[in-house]
Amino acid sequence: MATRSRTPTHFLVSTILVLECLGSVFGQEISSGNIRCFERERQALLKLKDDFVDETGRLSSWGVEMDCCKWSGVWCNNVTNHVTRLNLRAPPPISQNGPSVGPLRGKITSSLLELKHLTYLDLSSNDFGYSNIPEFIGSFDKMQYLNLSSANLARQIPESVGNLSELTHLDFGSNSGLYSENLGWVAHLGSLQYLDLSYADLSNASNWLLAISKLTSIKEMHLANCELPGILPSSLPSIKTSAPLVTLDLSSNPGISSSTFSFFLNFTISLTSIDFSFNGITSLDNLGIGFHNQISLEHLDLSNNNLESGIPEFFGNMSSLMYFDLSYRTRELTRLGPIGLVT
């Protein structure tokens, strides 16, 4: 009987030893059941929670459950178990009677660095109090989606962002304190499909058009309110692009003139929406053949420019155009039928 009682105990002890060894090899906690989370990543998330000021307890569930893969806003890869997605976007403010959820405050700290496997990071709509986008953001070499929009970020956009070669979506829009003096870093983002730098001050980034012309995958671009400097017509012939742009918003950049507008018309054929409102376009007379290529164009906003001449006849040939706005200051809307505008 003695042998029968000893064997299970012995088996149990060795099983625990094996599990502990595996646990330390993989850095995971296996002993408490189905925990997938890596301890180092769990600690990093807890540190991040400490670093943020979370007035409305949005991260209060963090740490209660042992497995960080189950924490709100955290996703782990189901094969590697590494934290690959972090979505801490602040929800839009809701009615006074609803639960109170507000932005995270504080700043983006290097605790984030331990989450090396991140492919998706959304910290948008929080309030980082005019702190900067940290230089280390460029070291997440697997990052595909980075959204830091409307987050009260300021100072110079780090050029290290140009190291994120897997990036498909980059949204730094609506941070009015951001600036970049040289957009050379953008040119490296060969996988980029979506770019929003609206409200960043790009007034010294005279290479902006050259930089974005290198984006061979870009489909949607928002550079509104960027104080984009004008492009000398003499430098335009040296710039070409094969960007498959569908949506282009360069509104509220008074330095943008007819020749820049003409540049985009010449080099793109897939545009469905163009917003060049509140720019410095004075004439539509010399747009070249570009406009005739825009057979997909549905939305064209040229309101609040300084148009001195009339509307060229070929506008009437753009059969897809459904929205065409040429109003001045009043932002009055002109709706077109499928036949187009006939003057």
Does residue 81 belong to the site contacting ligand NAG (CB under 6 A)? no
Residues β-bridged to residue 62: 65
Does residue 222 belong to the site contacting ligand NAG (CB under 6 A)? no
Task: Build a one-symbol-per-residue string for 35-54: x at contacts with ligand NAG by CB under 6 A, - elsewhere.
Answer: --------------------
Q: What is the Cα–Cα distance from 127 to 177, expressed in whole angstroms? A: 12
Between the alpha carbon of residue 62 and those of residues 32, 47, 72, 92, 237, the distances in Å are: 17, 11, 7, 21, 55
**Least distance in Å: CB of 339 to ligand NAG?**
11
Question: Binding segment for ligand NAG among 10-18, 33-41, 201-209, 320-328 (CB under 6 A)?
Answer: 201-209
Task: Build a one-symbol-per-residue string for 261-300: x at contacts with ligand NAG by CB under 6 A, - elsewhere.
Answer: -xx--x---------------------xxx-x--------
How many chain residues bind ligand NAG (CB under 6 A)? 34
Residue number with CB closer to ligand NAG (204 or 327): 204
Q: What is the Cα–Cα distance from 58 to 60, expressed in whole angstroms? A: 6
Binding residue for ligand NAG, selected from 132, 160, 283, 327, defined by CB under 6 A: 160
**Least distance in Å: CB of 144 to ligand NAG?**
11
Binding residue for ligand NAG, selected from 259, 268, 279, 303, defined by CB under 6 A: 259
Question: Binding segment for ligand NAG among 16-24, 31-39, 59-67, 143-151 (CB under 6 A)?
Answer: 143-151
Tokens of 309: 């001449």
- Taking the alpha carbons of 198, 200, 202, 207 in that order, is the dihedral positive or negative? negative
Residue number with CB closer to ligand NAG (203 or 272): 203
Does residue 185 belong to the site contacting ligand NAG (CB under 6 A)? no
Q: What are phi and psi of 76, to 5 degrees?
A: -110, 150
Between the alpha carbon of residue 130 and those of residues 36, 90, 182, 183, the distances in Å are: 36, 17, 21, 21
Does residue 194 belong to the site contacting ligand NAG (CB under 6 A)? yes
Tokens of 20: 């502990």
Does residue 79 belong to the site contacting ligand NAG (CB under 6 A)? yes
Q: What is the Cα–Cα distance from 164 to 185, expressed in whole angstroms? A: 10
**Least distance in Å: CB of 299 to ligand NAG?**
18
Binding residue for ligand NAG, selected from 111, 132, 139, 247, defined by CB under 6 A: 139
Binding residue for ligand NAG, selected from 23, 73, 102, 138, defined by CB under 6 A: 138
* Of 102, 103, 108, residue with least CA distance to 44: 108
Q: Which residue, chain included where needed, has tokens 């700290």? A: 109
Residue number with CB closer to ligand NAG (102 or 327): 102
Q: What is the Cα–Cα distance from 205 to 223, expressed in whole angstroms? A: 12
**Least distance in Å: CB of 288 to ligand NAG?**
3
Residue number with CB closer to ligand NAG (97 or 343): 343
* Of 123, 154, 228, residue with least CA distance to 186: 228
**Least distance in Å: CB of 158 to ligand NAG?**
7
- Please answer whether residues 220 and 194 qualify as being in contact, where contact means their C-beta atoms are separated by less than 8 angstroms: yes
Q: Interaction with ligand NAG in 235-254: which residues (CB under 6 A)?
A: 236
Amino acid (1-letter code) at residue 258? S
Got the DSSP string for 167-219?
Answer: -SEEE--S-TEEE-S-GGGGGG-TT--EEE-TTSB-TT-TTHHHHHHT-TT--
Residues 6 or more apart from 157 whose CB is under 8 A from it?
Answer: 133, 172, 178, 179, 180, 185, 197, 200
> What residues line the site for ligand NAG (CB under 6 A)?
78-79, 89, 124-125, 135-136, 138-139, 147, 149-150, 160, 163, 169, 171, 179, 181, 194, 201, 203-204, 236, 259, 262-263, 266, 288-290, 292, 313-314, 317
